[in-house]
Structure 1
Amino acid sequence: MAGLKYLSGFGNEFASEDPRCPSALPEGQNNPQVCPYGLYAEQLSGSAFTCPRPTNKRRCQIFQFVGHQLKYTSQHSTAQHYEIKSIRNTSIHPNIILFYYPESSTLNIGLHTVCGAGDSKSRNGICIHLYACNTSMTDRCFQNSDGDFLIVPQQGKLLVTTEFGKMMVEPNEICVIQQGMRFSVDVFGETRGYILEVYGAHFELPDLGPIGANGLANPRDFLVPVAWYEDRTVSAGYTVINKYQGKMFSCQQDFSPFNVVAWHGNYTPYKYNLENFMVINCVAYDHADPSIFTVLTAKSTRPGVAIADFVIFPPRWGVADHTFRPPYYHRNCMSEFMGLIKGHYEAKEEGFQPGGASLHSIMTPHGPDVDCFEKNSTATLKPERVAEGTMAFMFESSFSMAVTKWGLDTCNRVDKEYYKCWEPLRSHFNPKWKPASK
C-alpha cells in the first residue's frame, strides 16, 4: 500500500517527500517566495520558539497544495460521531478494575475517558481513555489541540493516516500522535485499546543514567511515516474535528486535509514495536522498581518526576536468588493504571483479562493476589521465562487521578469485588522462627 514506508530514529531531524513530486522540498530555506509545484509552506510548532536548543526539537515544515482552512464553528461535533466525557466533578476511587469490550454500534470511534487529573487550559495534566470502534473514519479527521495521544491497540490493527504519511499500528505496537496533528483511522473489524493523553509536555526517551548507552527502547526502532499526499475533492464535505479545552468543535471543507507533499523537521507522529524493547533485569537478588521498564516518559518541571511514564512488562528471564520474584506489596506516591494487551499478567493470572485495566491510586496498597503469593513464596528458584506470550503495561503518573462517572457507573464493567483477591491472605507470623543453619 502506498505510503507505508518509514524513517527510523527518535527525535531526529527528518526530511521526506512523496516520490510523485521529486524535489518538492526547497533547498536551503524553509519559506521561499514561490515553493516548488506551487505548494504552500506551513510550520507546525510543538514548543515555544525560544526553548533552549537541546529541547527545541518540536518543529516541522510541511508543504501542501491547499492552505488549511482555520475557521471553526462554535458548534460541538455531533454525538453520533464522537463522544468525550468530562473528568470534572468526579470523586477519587482508590481501587477499580474495568473490563471493557466493543459494543454493537456504528460509531466511527467511541472514546471514553476513564480517569485523569490536571487541566488542559493550564497545560498541565493527563487523561486516560479507552477506545472501541468497528467502523473506519470516512471523510473525517481528528485534531487534538489539548495534548499528545499515546495509542496502545489491544485488539485489531489501525491504519493511521496523518499529514505526514500513513502508519499501520497493530497490537503489541504503539503510536504517538502529537498535539495539533490531524489524523484519520481505518479499522478492520472490532477494534479496541487504550490512550494516554498528556498536556503541556511531549513524550521522550527516559534518561539511562548508570545503564549506559544501551538498553530499554533504542531510538533507531521508532519509525516515522514517509510523506504521502491525497489529492481528493469531497463534494459532500470533509469534517475536521478539533478537541480544544476538552470540548469538540468541527468545521467543513471540500478537500482532504492529507495534502502534504513534503515535510521536514522532528515534530512528527511515530510508532514503536514493543518487541524491540531491550529488557534490563535483576541477575542476583531482589525485585527492581518498574522504572527499568520505561519506554517513554513525559517529564514534569521537577527533576526525576514524570507527568506520565509508559511502562511495559515484556517476556524476560527471571533468575534472582533468595527473592520473591513477582512485584512485592507496595504503596506508591504515583498513580498506577495498568492494562493488558495479551496473555496473563504474572501477579494476577486469573483476575486480569486482555482489554481490562486497573487503577491503584496514590498510596493505595496493592500487589500480587493470594495464589501468586503462595506459589512464589514456596517455589524452587531456577532460571525461568517470565511473562511468555504476555504484554502488560502501565501508565504511571505523579498526578492523583479522579475517575469519571462513566468509569464508575456507566460502562457497567466494573469489578466491584476486586478487593477480594487479597482477602484470603493469612498471617504467617511465627515468633519462634529461627534462621536456617548454614
Structure 2
Amino acid sequence: MSYQTGFLNHFATEAVAGALPEGRNSPQRPAFGLYAEQFSTSAFTMARAENRRSWLYRMRPTTAHGAFVPYAGAELLGAPDGSHTTPNRLRWDPLAMPETRVDFVDGMVTYGGNAGIGVHLYAATASMDARAFQNSDGEMLILPQQGALRIVTELGRMEVAPGFLALVPAGMRFRVELLDGPSRGYICENFGAPFRLPDLGPIGANGLANPRDFETPVAWYEDRDEHFEIVQKFNGRLWTTTIDHSPFDVVAWHGNSAPCRYDLSRFNTIGTVSFDHPDPSIFTVLTSPSDTPGTANCDFVIFPPRWMVGEDTFRPPWFHRNVMSEFMGLIHGVYDAKEGGGFVPGGASLHNQFNGHGPDAESTRKAMAAELKPSKIDDTLAFMFESRAIIHTSKFAMEGGLLQHDYDACWTGFEKAKLPE
C-alpha cells in the first residue's frame, strides 16, 4: 500500500497518469470521460482552516442507483433509547467470535451512545466483497484488537492492524477485508465535529500525535461490472440498495477530506518528571470539540507503553469522579490500574459521569508499597472514548451475557485510614 502523510493536508493523487485536472482544467470535462464529484464533510462556508472537501474523478457518478429500502441485517446495531442506562460502573468480557460467516457490517454491535457518539464493537469472520458500507450519520474511528484489516475506501486502500486506528469520514463508502483470519475490535461513531489533533498549549510545538504520522491512501480504483450492495446508515437506521458496478472507481482525487490511518506506537507520551499523575487528557490522540470551549464531544485517549518517573506520588491513575463519561477498551497487555484481572483484551468498561472509579484494591496496595524509582510500563495498549454526555447503554450491553456483574467487587477490601488519636 502507498500512503501520503500529514493530517488534514491537501493531497493530490491519481492512479492513471493524466486523470487529475491541473490548473484551469474544468471539472466539467475531466480526462478519459471521468465524472467530477465534490465530497464535502463541512459546510461550504466554513472557515478555510476548518473546511474539509475533496474533488473525486470517478468512472461513474454516485447518483446512479435505485431507491434505498430498509436493511434487515446488523440487528444489534442501533442507538440506545436510554431505558437500560444506570449510574453503575460496568465492565464486559470480550465479544465472542461468530460461529458462522459474518462480515464487518453484520458483525457490529452497539454498546452505548449519546447525541454525540455511538460506541460499538465488531466481530467478523468473513471479508466484505461485492458490498460497501456508508455511514451518513458520522465518521468512524476503527480500532482492530484482533486480526488485521484492509479497509478499501473510495479514495484508496489502508491496511490497519491491531495497534493502528483508521478514521473514515462520514458519507465515505468502504468495505472491510480480513487479512489474517477473524477480526474483532472497537468503533467510535462520531456525530459531532470531525476529529482533529488537540491543541498543545504549554506543551509547545511537539508531542502527543504528530500530523506527519497520519497516513492517507493514494488513489486506487476497481473496475468491476457486477452487482454491488450499498448498505447505508442514515438517521440511525440501516438502508440498502444495489448498483451495477464497484463503488470504488475513483481514479484520481485531490483535497483534504479523506480516510487515514495512524500507528499508535508513534504517539509521543508526555508525563510528569516530578510528582502527581497527569490528567488523562495528556494522552489525547484526537478530539472532537463541542460548543463549550475546553469540553469535548469526544476525546480519543490512549495509554501506551511509557516511563513512570514521578517522585513521592501515587503513580496509577488516582481515584476520581469526572464530568466526562469514559468508555475504555484494551488492545493488548494489562492496564496498570486494573491488574487484578477482569479487564482483558477485547473487553470493555464504562464509567459514566460523576461516578467514582480508579485503580482496583490490589493495584492500589501494590502502588502504595512500591519503591518509587523510574519504571517502564510496557506491553500494554489501552484506550478511552471520553464524552461530555452520559453514554447510554444498549439492551445487548446490559442483557447480552457479557456484563461482569461482580465488577464492583474489585473495589472492596480497602483498609480504613488510621487517624491519630
Q: Considering the TM-score relative to the shorter chain, is it more than 0.5?
A: yes
Match of 1:243 in 2: 233
Provide structure 2 residue ranges, at least 5 long, that are not aligned to the other structure.
Answer: none
TM-superposed deviation, 1:280: 0.3
Task: Determine if contact 1:137/1:185 at 8 Å carries over to the other structure.
Answer: yes
Match of 1:113 in 2: 110
Task: Determine if contact 2:326/2:350 at 8 Å carries over to the other structure.
Answer: yes
Aligned partner (choices 109, 131, 137) of residue 122 of structure 2:
131
Match of 2:137 in 1: 146
Match of 2:96 in 1: 101
Is 1:414 the counterpart of 2:403 in the alignment? yes
TM-superposed deviation, 1:103: 2.6
Is 1:170 the counterpart of 2:161 in the alignment? yes
Report the Cα distance in structure 2 between the residues aligned to 1:218 and 1:148, rounded to whole angstroms: 21
- The one-letter code of the counterpart of 2:8 is G
Match of 1:429 in 2: 418
Task: Determine if contact 1:39/1:63 at 8 Å carries over to the other structure.
Answer: yes
Report the Cα distance in structure 1 between the residues aligned to 2:54 and 2:32, rounded to whole angstroms: 19
- The one-letter code of the counterpart of 1:40 is Y
Match of 1:340 in 2: 330
- The one-letter code of the counterpart of 2:280 is P
- The one-letter code of the counterpart of 1:233 is D
Aligned partner (choices 43, 47, 59) of residue 65 of structure 1:
59
- The one-letter code of the counterpart of 1:92 is T
Is 1:161 the counterpart of 2:152 in the alignment? yes
Task: Determine if contact 1:115/1:407 at 8 Å carries over to the other structure.
Answer: yes
Task: Determine if contact 1:69/1:253 at 8 Å carries over to the other structure.
Answer: no
Match of 1:87 in 2: 80
Task: Determine if contact 1:85/1:406 at 8 Å carries over to the other structure.
Answer: no
Compared CA separation, residues 398 and 29, structure 1 to 2 (3 A):
farther
SS at match of 1:255: coil
Task: Determine if contact 1:72/1:250 at 8 Å carries over to the other structure.
Answer: no
Match of 2:368 in 1: 377
SS at match of 2:21: coil
Report the Cα distance in structure 1 between the residues aligned to 2:25 and 2:197, rounded to whole angstroms: 28
Question: What percentage of aligned pairs have identical amino acids?
Answer: 47
Task: Determine if contact 1:203/1:297 at 8 Å carries over to the other structure.
Answer: yes
Match of 1:195 in 2: 187
Match of 2:45 in 1: 50
TM-superposed deviation, 1:401: 1.3
Task: Determine if contact 1:82/1:108 at 8 Å carries over to the other structure.
Answer: no
Match of 1:267 in 2: 257
CA deviation map 1:193-216 (0-9, x unaligned):
000011131000000000000000
TM-superposed deviation, 1:30: 6.9
Compared CA separation, residues 276 and 135, structure 1 to 2 (3 A):
same
Match of 1:283 in 2: 273
TM-superposed deviation, 1:89: 4.2
Aligned partner (choices 61, 69, 78) of residue 75 of structure 1:
69
Task: Determine if contact 2:117/2:192 at 8 Å carries over to the other structure.
Answer: no
TM-superposed deviation, 1:249: 0.8
Report the Cα distance in structure 2 between the residues aligned to 1:284 and 1:157, rounded to whole angstroms: 39
TM-superposed deviation, 1:324: 0.6
Compared CA separation, residues 75 and 329, structure 1 to 2 (3 A):
same
TM-superposed deviation, 1:315: 0.7
Report the Cα distance in structure 2 between the residues aligned to 1:44 and 1:32, rounded to whole angstroms: 13
Report the Cα distance in structure 1 between the residues aligned to 2:304 and 2:45, rounded to whole angstroms: 39
Compared CA separation, residues 197 and 286, structure 1 to 2 (3 A):
same
Report the Cα distance in structure 1 between the residues aligned to 2:45 and 2:63, rounded to whole angstroms: 27
TM-superposed deviation, 1:34: 1.4
Aligned partner (choices 10, 15, 21) of residue 13 of structure 1:
10
TM-superposed deviation, 1:111: 0.5
**CA-based RMSD:** 1.3
- The one-letter code of the counterpart of 1:190 is P
Provide structure 1 residue ranges, at least 5 long, that are not aligned to the other structure.
Answer: 119-124, 433-438
Displaced runs of 4 or more, over 6 A: none
Aligned partner (choices 22, 26, 41) of residue 27 of structure 1:
22
Report the Cα distance in structure 2 between the residues aligned to 1:325 and 1:89, rounded to whole angstroms: 36
Task: Determine if contact 1:91/1:403 at 8 Å carries over to the other structure.
Answer: yes
Compared CA separation, residues 33 and 197, structure 1 to 2 (3 A):
closer
SS at match of 2:386: strand
Report the Cα distance in structure 2 between the residues aligned to 1:142 and 1:393, rounded to whole angstroms: 25
Report the Cα distance in structure 2 between the residues aligned to 1:74 and 1:241, rounded to whole angstroms: 9
TM-score (norm 2): 0.96
CA deviation map 1:231-252 (0-9, x unaligned):
1111xx2101110011111111
Moved more, 346-355 or 9-18: 346-355
Is 1:233 the counterpart of 2:261 in the alignment? no
TM-superposed deviation, 1:102: 1.4
TM-superposed deviation, 1:71: 4.2
Report the Cα distance in structure 2 between the residues aligned to 1:331 and 1:219, rounded to whole angstroms: 32
SS at match of 2:371: coil
